[in-house]
């Protein structure tokens, strides 16, 4: 796959991997930093469904779940022909560090550089909110609620 069609991000989070993992997989906890509705069944083949901004649902299925260490799930947008449900892959590794967790994020399978740029902007926004929350602070209301412009 072309390297320019991959979204990558590494973020240090001041919390242990188990706390970060819960914020990524528990439907109630995930809504503290992203989305308005969530259904998560974090086991291989289980549903990943998240209403990200209150207007757009991301849908996929968990492919790999290694508690507190790794998640991989298919990802796409309901109603989208460009990035349909399950058409791309999100992989998240949580690596224990002396001061917390290194979150290593990769999103592959996006069809265009424009889609990569939009998803990179979105993931940066939401991973930053995750890091704030996991670090013990309130990220505040999501300024992107209601957004429906084709980006994450």
Residue 144 tokens, joined: 């992107």
Assess contact for 118 and 151: CB atoms under 8 A: yes
Could you give the 3-state DSSP secondary structure of residue 90? strand
Q: What is the pLDDT of residues 76-118, one digit of tens each?
A: 999 999 999 999 999 999 999 999 999 999 999 999 999 999 9
- pTM for the model stands at 0.94
Q: Name the pLDDT band for 3 (thresholds 50, 70, 90).
A: low
Q: Report the distance separating Cα 121 and Cα 152, nearest Å.
A: 8
Residue 53 tokens, joined: 């901004």
**2 pLDDT above the threshold of 70:** no
Assess contact for 50 and 38: CB atoms under 8 A: yes
**1 pLDDT above the threshold of 60:** no
Q: What is the pLDDT of residues 59-84, one digit of tens each?
A: 999 999 999 999 999 999 999 999 99
Q: What is the pLDDT of residue 4?
A: 75
The Cα angle at residue 143 between residues 147 and 75, in degrees rounded to 5: 50
Q: Report the distance separating Cα 139 and Cα 30, nearest Å.
A: 12
> What backbone phi and psi angles, to 5 degrees, belong to 106?
-140, 135
Task: Tally the residues of the chain.
Answer: 152
Assess contact for 86 and 74: CB atoms under 8 A: yes
Delineate the domains of the chain, giving CATH numbers in brackets.
3-134 (3.30.530.20)
């Amino acid at each position: 796959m072309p390297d320019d069609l991959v979204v990558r991000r590494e973020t240090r989070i001041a919390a242990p991997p188990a706390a970060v993992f819960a914020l990524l997989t528990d439907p109630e906890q995930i809504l503290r930093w992203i989305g308005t509705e969530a259904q998560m069944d974090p086991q291989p083949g289980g549903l990943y469904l998240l209403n990200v901004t209150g207007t757009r649902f991301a849908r996929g299925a968990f492919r790999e779940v290694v508690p507190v260490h790794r998640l991989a799930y298919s990802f796409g947008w309901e109603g989208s022909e460009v990035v349909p449900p399950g058409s791309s892959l999100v992989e998240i590794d949580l690596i224990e560090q002396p001061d917390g967790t290194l979150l290593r994020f990769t999103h592959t399978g996006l069809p265009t550089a424009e889609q990569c740029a939009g998803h990179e902007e979105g993931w940066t926004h939401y991973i930053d909110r995750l890091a704030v929350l996991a670090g013990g602070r309130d990220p505040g209301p999501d300024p992107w609620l209601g957004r429906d412009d084709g980006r994450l």
